[in-house]
């Protein structure tokens, strides 16, 4: 998808290079994502007032493919859309979302000169639905494309943190709900998103959710990653992301007050970057340098609370270089903070952006450093280094996690006293004394490699044979039950349930959201009854079929999961109980993802372009054919076995792929 959009943009005479092409893509994606969220907010909140004015919303000018000529489309974007969004009016009483939209578009531009090519890009983007979990993964493609293209454009200082690393760091730092979490070089928001997922597991009340929304903070000075970070946070249900366009290095560090300090900092500062003249003057004389990573390290010590916790990623040269500023920084760090752990990462973790070796420095307040535990992260046996095609994986940090709370020296871990470090003039580059120096880098002999490959291939072949047999049996079974189908009206299979509930002001209620395109049903928020305007609501139960009468035509329906038992909905959502003697609800859920069912809900919906409602009477009169209940149950057993077999086969093929990479590195490279 992203490649096809890029290919279209490359044809446009107005886009000059990778940076403009990516910037063009990101503002369009942001506008589409924000519009999808506004549709969701309109469904959830009574009397919701849209932030983006009517006529400028994505749906208003992209839905009708023939509404404007190519020239009119280009003129609209240049003369109305950008002007309107850059000039969004807000004051002290304005909604914060308006400030976010305007800040995103302040440094954005439409670089495309061809209205026809712009229309082609719009068509491609309209194939994506960012409210579904599946299509959210498109952000991974955008993210990787940006990093690759920015580096090829010469921005070698732009390094971003692989998700397995951010997740491991968050697990070990363990931010707790109510603590302020900061990343003041947040890039596209990787640490913030990992922290968000970690903290969401601690939510137990509406107040907890409100605290979460207020305590994840990001700073990013560059417009492109800032746009991506804001968009990503909105996609992850942070309605008003606390991410600022700023450079914290421009403020004198000695001006920071206790109120400015935070509980947790997790950061990956740009390596090798150089700051502009004048920035160093914001730091005490002994710390003045143009090296960005060093300045960020000093800033961290001024922003972290006395009892706070932090993790910073730094390259090897910070550990071993002997220039005066680096030594001064390390002295302050070790004397005023407890650097309790340094995890040494091997080469290639940041491929394809840099090949240098890096380190995770875990820091806590409350005392100075007495000793440092080092842990050398081991490469998988068949690797010489990580690479773009064989990146580091989250599961590989299991060895550190098992060791973390029960520490002892081993082949990967060793303890160094502060006395030894000071004697080394604060050189922290201390090699693993326990490492087996006789270990052959080529950990697999040719014979062992052959055995491993044969074993993996045999498993894959056996799984393929099993899959072949299962597929034949499954298809034979499908043919047999297709001859035994009966037709039923949907109303014969589903019974409308209206479990009315009058809300109590002091009781907390779970509210749900339904993702479009069969994306599933999820918890939206937990709120007190007094915060909900409409007191007459409806209660839902697990296993019920739930749909949105507004967006059923867009695939907004699904089965209520167990964790949403007792949640509430408005009259714009309808619930149905399956007649279990006729219908297996899992079979029906699978059926609702088919084109046949989508055609039914679309034909049952009518109204204006943006307000087509489902006609229940018409919907329930539609006929579908299905086998009897016992056959549906058997079908789902076959189907589940097919999925399980596929997942096992995929794992074996992934192992084969890793072994082929090993052969390339060890026998060719």
Give the per-residue SS3 of 278-338. CHHHHCCHHHCCCEHHHHHHHHHHHHEEEEEEEEEEEEHHHHHCCCHHHHHHHHHHHHHCE
d(CA 343, CA 392): 14
- DSSP SS3 for 242: strand
Per the DSSP assignment, residues forming a β-bridge with 264 are 181, 309
- DSSP SS3 for 123: helix
Q: Does pTM top 0.75 for this prediction?
A: no
| Beta-strand relationship, 181-183 and 262-267 | parallel
Are the CB atoms for 357 and 348 separated by under 8 Å?
A: no
Parts of the chain with a pLDDT under 70: 1, 90-95, 130-159, 272, 352-354, 436-449, 451-453, 456, 463, 467, 469-484, 608-611, 655, 658-659, 661-669
- Cβ atoms within 10 Å, residue 458: 11
Are the CB atoms for 435 and 375 separated by under 8 Å?
A: no
Are the CB atoms for 88 and 98 separated by under 8 Å?
A: yes
With CA atoms as reference, report the closest residue to 61 among 135, 107, 126: 126
With CA atoms as reference, report the closest residue to 310 among 273, 361, 274, 265: 265
The predicted structure's pLDDT at residue 375: 96
Encode pLDDT of 515-544 as tens digits.
888 888 988 888 888 888 889 999 999 999
With CA atoms as reference, report the closest residue to 202 among 166, 175, 234: 175
Is the sign of the CA dihedral 224, 225, 227, 231 positive or negative? Answer: positive
Are the CB atoms for 70 and 78 separated by under 8 Å?
A: no
With CA atoms as reference, report the closest residue to 251 among 183, 348, 180, 184: 184
The predicted structure's pLDDT at residue 396: 93
Any idea what the Cα angle at residue 401 is, between residues 346 and 314, rounded to 5°?
40
């Amino acid at each position: 998808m992203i490649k096809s959009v890029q290919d279209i943009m490359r044809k446009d005479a107005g886009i000059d290079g990778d940076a403009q092409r990516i910037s063009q893509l990101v503002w369009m994606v942001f506008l589409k994502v924000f519009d999808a969220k506004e549709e969701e907010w309109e469904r959830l909140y009574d009397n919701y007032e849209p932030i983006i004015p009517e006529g400028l919303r994505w749906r208003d000018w992209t839905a009708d493919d023939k509404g404007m000529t190519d020239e009119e489309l280009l003129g609209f974007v240049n003369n109305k859309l950008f002007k309107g969004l850059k000039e969004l009016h807000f004051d002290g009483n304005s909604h914060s979302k308006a400030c976010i939209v305007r800040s995103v578009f302040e440094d954005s531009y439409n670089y495309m000169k061809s209205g026809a090519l712009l229309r082609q890009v719009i068509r491609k983007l309209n194939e994506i639905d960012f409210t579904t979990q599946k299509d959210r993964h498109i952000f991974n493609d955008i993210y990787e494309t940006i990093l690759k293209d920015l580096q090829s454009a010469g921005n070698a200082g732009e390094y971003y943190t692989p998700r397995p690393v951010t997740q491991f760091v968050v697990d070990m730092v363990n931010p707790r709900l109510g603590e302020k979490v900061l990343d003041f070089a947040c890039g596209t928001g990787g640490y913030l998103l990992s922290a968000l997922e970690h903290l969401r597991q601690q939510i137990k009340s509406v107040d907890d959710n409100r605290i979460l929304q207020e305590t994840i903070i990001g700073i990013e000075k560059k417009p492109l990653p800032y746009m991506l970070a804001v968009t990503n946070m909105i996609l992850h249900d942070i309605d008003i992301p606390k991410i600022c366009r700023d450079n914290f290095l421009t403020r004198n560090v000695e001006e920071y007050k206790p109120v400015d300090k935070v509980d947790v900092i997790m950061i990956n500062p740009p390596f090798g970057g150089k700051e502009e003249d004048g920035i160093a003057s914001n730091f005490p004389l002994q710390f003045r340098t143009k090296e960005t990573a060093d300045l960020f390290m000093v800033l961290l010590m001024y922003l972290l609370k006395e009892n706070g916790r932090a993790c910073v990623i730094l390259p090897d040269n910070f550990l071993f270089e002997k220039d005066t500023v680096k030594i001064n920084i390390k002295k302050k760090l070790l004397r005023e903070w407890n650097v309790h752990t340094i995890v040494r990462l091997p080469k290639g973790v940041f491929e394809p952006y840099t090949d240098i070796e890096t380190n995770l420095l875990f820091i806590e307040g409350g005392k100075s450093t007495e000793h440092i535990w080092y842990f050398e992260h081991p490469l998988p046996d068949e690797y010489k280094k990580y690479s773009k095609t064989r990146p580091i994986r989250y599961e590989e940090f299991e060895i550190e996690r098992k060791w973390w709370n029960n520490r002892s020296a081993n082949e990967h871990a060793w303890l160094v006293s502060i006395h030894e470090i000071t004697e080394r003039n604060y050189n922290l580059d201390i090699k693993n004394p326990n490492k087996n120096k006789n270990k052959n880098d080529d950990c697999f002999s040719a014979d062992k490699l052959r055995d491993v490959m044969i074993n993996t291939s045999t498993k894959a072949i056996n799984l393929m044979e099993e899959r072949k047999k299962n597929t034949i049996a499954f298809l034979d079974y499908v043919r047999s039950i297709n001859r035994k189908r009966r037709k039923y009206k949907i109303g014969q299979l589903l019974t409308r349930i209206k479990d009315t509930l009058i809300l109590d002001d002091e009781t907390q209620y779970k509210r749900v959201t339904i993702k479009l395109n069969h994306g599933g049903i999820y918890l939206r928020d937990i709120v007190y009854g007094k915060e909900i305007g409409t007191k007459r609501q409806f209660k839902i139960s697990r296993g019920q079929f739930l749909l949105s009468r507004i967006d059923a035509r867009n695939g907004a329906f699904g089965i209520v999961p167990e964790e949403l038992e007792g949640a509430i909905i408005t009259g714009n959502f309808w619930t149905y109980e399956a007649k279990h003697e006729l219908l297996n609800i899992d079979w029906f859920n699978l059926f609702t993802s088919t084109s046949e069912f989508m055609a039914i809900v679309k034909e049952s919906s009518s109204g204006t372009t943006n307000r087509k409602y489902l006609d229940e009477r018409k919907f329930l009169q539609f006929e579908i054919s299905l086998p009897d209940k016992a056959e549906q149950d058997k079908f789902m057993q076959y189907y589940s076995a097919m999925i399980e077999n596929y997942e096992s086969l995929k794992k074996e093929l992934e192992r084969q792929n890793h072994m082929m990479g090993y052969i390339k590195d060890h026998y060719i490279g």
